[in-house]
Structure 1
């Protein structure tokens, strides 16, 4: 009898071990980046292990070791990874609904507001999740970027000062907005923007303080203009849909709650980063922060080029039977 009990106990332990899962998180972010994204990615993994009582864990594959930035959606969809950072603005044709913020710059929400809006839209409108499901993806959390202004190599105090400036551009809203300002949109990657500022290929780039410091743009551009662009939407914390559906109910509930808690933790870290950078700017980094007449920028929203971009998103949303009125109201001043 004792032997049978012993065998049963060993079998139970082995079965328990067999049920333990290690999920793979693929990210382009270097582990040592030390910014809000890197810190909270590790926080998510630690919390997942803690909240599942060590039954499950996440192994993070840092620095593009498994997939580069633009490869992550396909990598996740194929099941090579379970979790990953989908940089939504890079895939506007693949994920137009989930890129709503990218069609509405400037907009009035801060980082936390943008993240909460994405949570709300996913909860209220199944089309947002269906768009991801078509790529075998599921959103477990949202990582908005910080509120953006303009980092420039020369002082800019009004729209008149923007005439003829070369400004880094990407996505949908920024090219139209920059042209409406009387400036020239220049398409340059994030990685190439440092040299472009240094060599005067561009005069300004839309960015927030934390990212400006992270990419060291503030070494070569010393004027930060508080243009009220609002927060940009950055990343979906996505899962392979099959991996998500294969979780037991208890683990899935942990992930669902953790996704919301992640937004709060990430937003807190991001705010701390931005405040720290602004203090550094006052010191040895010597970046001058300049006010910009908010009314001037908001008036640009009426420009037909800016409105055409917004109408384009509305058409895409209505084509999928998404009620747009509440969404548009949240995105407009």
Structure 2
């Protein structure tokens, strides 16, 4: 094992895998045999992702793949390429557009310019806590705000499923149990908007590639990583930074998208398109049933390992969500969106704000 690299370990998320069948071996069969009983030919689609099948994200994507097969009565078969085996995560959007894969995972944060309108979710730090409410906001946004889907269409892709991950948390090498403890610490985040917010609470925001975060924490190059809780635990960052500060009220407002090449989509039959819609509904429900238990298991595992786990108070979450930099981020985003040709970015923010406020009961 390379010195400083995270150790592979079995995380509690593997518990959920007991009810999700392994499809790695099946992929080879799918690629080689695409005839249905009676000689009908199945539609085989390739799918590129940058995650492994045995973690929270992989579970979400596996459930969707399985539901797509079920809802189409086996007429749609998906061959997954896990763990960036076909393309790196940042290459997938263009790769699906260009037909390297028929379908692919898209993280909006990877494309701050190409998916600027879609990045508007990140301008709202406070959002619904329950998985079901988060999905309601995300799905309503894509149905009620055409500019979001239009921006993806300009990249030659269409959203056929989306899911969410666990809320924001900071994992620290130092004893931090309050928002005030962020002051003066070097904290890594992936989103430019959240780097701005970390700066506003007195931290020194830093950008470090995800693959280097473990070693950066281990060597003291940084003091913390601020990201989704499941990502922290999956990468064993809490092992070298065992002070975990969970901001459950901060919903990690990034919908993780599964997209399909638009030309490929247009070539599907109406029945196949209907199977996609039904698979979205059923997969979302099945994953939601597992989500809460997976969150609880991660927290329990961290406590059992002797890590210090602290939950932010509502007052701390409100303070973070109402920092002056939140408004400044939105003004910057509006200006950049107009420069990029958006006609009414203010309306996009207002619609999204309304959906989030409704989910919070405001």
- TM-score range (shorter-chain normalised) is 0.7 to 0.9
Cα distance between partner residues in 2 of 1:296 and 1:81: 43
**CA-to-partner distance for each residue in 1:52-71, whole Å, 9 max, x for gaps?**
12222111112222111011
- Equivalent position of 2:47 in the other structure: 25
Cα distance between partner residues in 1 of 2:106 and 2:36: 36
- Equivalent position of 1:255 in the other structure: 276
- List runs of 5+ in structure 2 lacking aligned partners: 1-34
Establish whether residue 266 from structure 1 lines up as the match of residue 287 from structure 2: yes
Please tell me whether the aligned partners of residues 167 and 228 of structure 2 are also in contact (alpha carbons under 8 angstroms): yes
**CA-to-partner distance for each residue in 1:265-288, whole Å, 9 max, x for gaps?**
3333333222111111221x1111
What SS does the aligned partner of 2:300 have? helix
Alignment length, in residue pairs?
Answer: 318
**CA-to-partner distance for each residue in 1:181-227, whole Å, 9 max, x for gaps?**
11100101222111111112121222343222211111111111133
What SS does the aligned partner of 1:290 have? strand
RMSD value over aligned CA atoms?
Answer: 2.5
Cα distance between partner residues in 1 of 2:260 and 2:171: 34
- Equivalent position of 2:342 in the other structure: 319
Could you tell me how far 1:139 is from its partner in structure 2?
Answer: 0.4
- Residue correspondence of structure 1 range 112-261 to structure 2 within 5 A: 112-227=132-247, 228-261=249-282
Cα distance between partner residues in 2 of 1:122 and 1:14: 34
Deviates more, 1:154-163 or 1:132-141: 154-163
What SS does the aligned partner of 2:161 have? strand
Deviates more, 1:86-95 or 1:268-277: 268-277
Q: Which of residues 318, 321, 328 in structure 1 aligns to 2:353?
A: 328
What SS does the aligned partner of 1:319 have? coil
Higher Cα Rg: structure 1 or 2? 1
What SS does the aligned partner of 2:215 have? helix
Please tell me whether the aligned partners of residues 104 and 173 of structure 1 are also in contact (alpha carbons under 8 angstroms): no
Aligned pair in 2 of structure 1 residues 326, 200: CA closer, same or farther (>3 Å)?
A: same
Could you tell me how far 1:16 is from its partner in structure 2?
Answer: 7.2
- Equivalent position of 1:3 in the other structure: none
- Equivalent position of 2:124 in the other structure: 104
- Equivalent position of 2:93 in the other structure: 73
Cα distance between partner residues in 2 of 1:14 and 1:118: 35
Please tell me whether the aligned partners of residues 148 and 232 of structure 1 are also in contact (alpha carbons under 8 angstroms): no
